[in-house]
Amino acid sequence: MASFIPPPSFTPKIPQQNHDVFLSFRGEDTRYTFTSHLYAALTRNQVKTYIDNELERGDEISPSLLKAINDAKLSVIIFSENYESSRWCLDELVKILECKKNDGQILVPIFYHVNPTNVRNQTGSYAIALAEHEKRRDMNKVQTWRLALAEAANFSGWDCLGTRNESELVEQIAMDILQKLDSITSGGLERRINTYKQIAQQKLEKSLRTGNLVDMEELITTLYQLAELKLEKAKSTDDSTVWGDVLATYERIMQLKQDKWMRTFNTKDLEDLKATRNHVLYIQREQSNRKMGFRGI
């Protein structure tokens, strides 16, 4: 059987430095599927992410990997069916929890095709793997792993057992990670604006391609989130260009809502259009007031 050659676009440049996110995952479960897709989504959103591409590992976790965990602001733990069978993954988990406790590192657990209860209570495949560890390892070491699994599984995270579209789920997780990072780093607002611009462009292309109302509604929602971020930025300045950008985005939303109402003639859609029109008038007045040196928002 021909050996699998990983896609060249997946392997990041080495050495990896100045990362914000560390990915902990079981390579044989998710390296070329979920983890590669999440890494790509984070990269698109300009999130510097560390991913370990060593296919062969020794008995102990390497100092460079411990440092990579320690340097991260946020760690993502992708619990998969065979995560617990890797002593390397379990040592990563212990180190991540140590960084959370000592340095406030953010932890995002993802339960990929595994029930969170199995991780928390070490049942199912997790029970089998840990029993095997107990035959070969020091019992205190295995107990440390058990406690780490139970603790990590109690944090709020993402359950991938459902039937939702995986590509959409990956994008949602990437945005959640981005927002968590923005809450603790400078320059977060500008990065969020740029990210939502990219997402809005993708939604626009999809809406134009399909022409259905669901995609139009998703575009409107994304543009509204973008407009709110631009408005947040505008509140700190009197720059007419910045305010003009806010107004242009809201006017685009109003145009889309009008197009939607013309297709549905739904009373609720009409009321929504009127509310947006009033909000546009409000922004226009505020822009005018700013030009004259008054601030109303």
CA-wise closest residue to 104 among 77, 149, 72? 72
What would the two tokens of residue 264 be?
A: 């549905």
Q: How far is CA 122 from the centre of its chain?
A: 27
User: Whose structure tokens read 């305010």?
Assistant: 243
Catalytic residues: 92
Contacts 24+ apart (CB under 8 A), 155-158: 155/107, 155/108, 155/109, 157/108, 157/109, 157/110, 157/111, 157/116, 158/108, 158/109, 158/110, 158/111
Q: Which amino acid is at 116?
A: P
Q: Which helix (H) or strand (E) holds 106?
A: strand 106-111
The Cα–Cα gap between 254 and 275 comes to: 9
